[in-house]
Amino acid sequence: MPESSLRELRRSGASELADVLSVETAAEPFSAASWEDPDHWIMPGEIGLGGRSLVAIHTPGHTKGHYVFDDRDSGLLFSGDHILPHITPSIGFELGPWGMPLGDYVDSLELTHRQPDRRLLPAHGAVTGSSRERAAELLQHHEHRFDEIVDELSPGAPSTAAGVAEKLPWGPGADGRSLVSTRSTK
Amino acid sequence: MIAICETLAHLDVLVDRRLAVRKSGNGAERFSLASAND
């Protein structure tokens, strides 16, 4: 795990968890030299694939470089991990520094919601009927979570992000376990 | 860890929307619902 991610955890008030992960990281060092560069970088715009044409749309959020692919002729959206039918993609979990991943994700959902409706072909789960409808559901989901967090930020009760997370119904403390003991499952 | 990262991601947006204020304290970032100018 990069030092930048450990810094983010410490910034969140999860120093104990960062310490544990730091030890685990030292045991399995990461080497960028183990990875090849891409053969070709995709840019936003039309891509010809034989007799088919897709429009590449940059949708950062789940990852910085996430793209979806719009098959206008067939009314299909290859949505990758941007829009999933039954779960929400993880946000803010990508390694390395990043400004505001959830802000980018919300912007990407709003972008998808403004696009023509498509049949959704996600990276996980079944093919579903409406890209715009699911984008709206995910936007609503995150607005609900914003409200839940705001409710925990009562005046006079400052806390760290880790402390807030432990109070939330979807957080690591929901079942009474500690942050460290839940690190691999939450 | 995912829950912490996601909570931090939500808090960053709330700070950006001026619905929460980040303060320094005790070696960690802290948050409150005080005025955005606090």
Residues A36-51 have pLDDT tens digits of 999 999 999 999 988 8
Tell me the mean pLDDT in the region A13-24: 87
> Which chain B residue is nearest to residue A146, measuring alpha carbons?
B10
**A122 burial via Cβ count (<10 Å: 0-12, 13-18, 19+):** buried
- What's residue A156's pLDDT? 59
> Which chain B residue is nearest to residue A101, measuring alpha carbons?
B9
- Residue A156's contacts (CB-CB under 8 Å, 6 or more residues apart) are B32
Q: Please report, in tens digits, the pLDDT of each residue of chain B (38 residues total).
A: 777 878 888 888 888 888 887 765 555 566 766 554 43
**B2 and chain A in contact, CB less than 8 A:** yes
A33 belongs to a structural domain: no
Which of A15, A102, A168 is opposite residue B9, by nearest beta carbon?
A102
Contacts of A88 in chain B (CB under 8 A): none
A171 belongs to a structural domain: no
ipTM of the prediction greater than 0.90, yes or no: no
**Residue A56, H or E segment:** strand A52-58
A30 belongs to a structural domain: no
Contacts of B9 in chain A (CB under 8 A): 91-92, 100-102
| Rounded Cα–Cα distance for residues A174 and B38 (Å) | 31
- What's residue B37's pLDDT? 45
A66 belongs to a structural domain: yes
A148 belongs to a structural domain: yes
Which of A93, A103, A182 is opposite residue B13, by nearest beta carbon?
A103
A91 belongs to a structural domain: yes
Range of the domain at A67: 40-152
- What's residue A21's pLDDT? 87
Quote the number of domains for chain A. 1
CATH code, domain with A109: 3.60.15.10
Q: Is the pLDDT of residue A7 over 90?
A: no
Three-state DSSP class for residue A137: helix
**A148 burial via Cβ count (<10 Å: 0-12, 13-18, 19+):** middle
> Do A12 and B5 lie within an 8 Å CB cutoff?
yes
A178 belongs to a structural domain: no
State phi, psi for A46 to the nearest 5 degrees: -80, 140
A143 belongs to a structural domain: yes
Name the token pair of A36.
């090849």
- What's residue A130's pLDDT? 95
Round the average pLDDT of chain A to a whole number and report it: 85
Name the token pair of B18.
């001026």
- What's residue A155's pLDDT? 63
Residue-wise DSSP of chain B: -HHHHHHHHHHHHHHHTTSSEEEEETTEEEEE-S-TT-
* B-interface mutation test, from A11, A81, A87, A160, most B Cβ less than 10 A away: A160
- Residue B29's contacts (CB-CB under 8 Å, 6 or more residues apart) are A11, A12, A13, A160, A161, B22, B23
* CA A59 centroid distance within chain: 11
- What's residue A170's pLDDT? 72
Contacts of A92 in chain B (CB under 8 A): 5-6, 8-9
Percent of chain A with pLDDT over 90: 45
Tell me the mean pLDDT in the region A110-139: 95
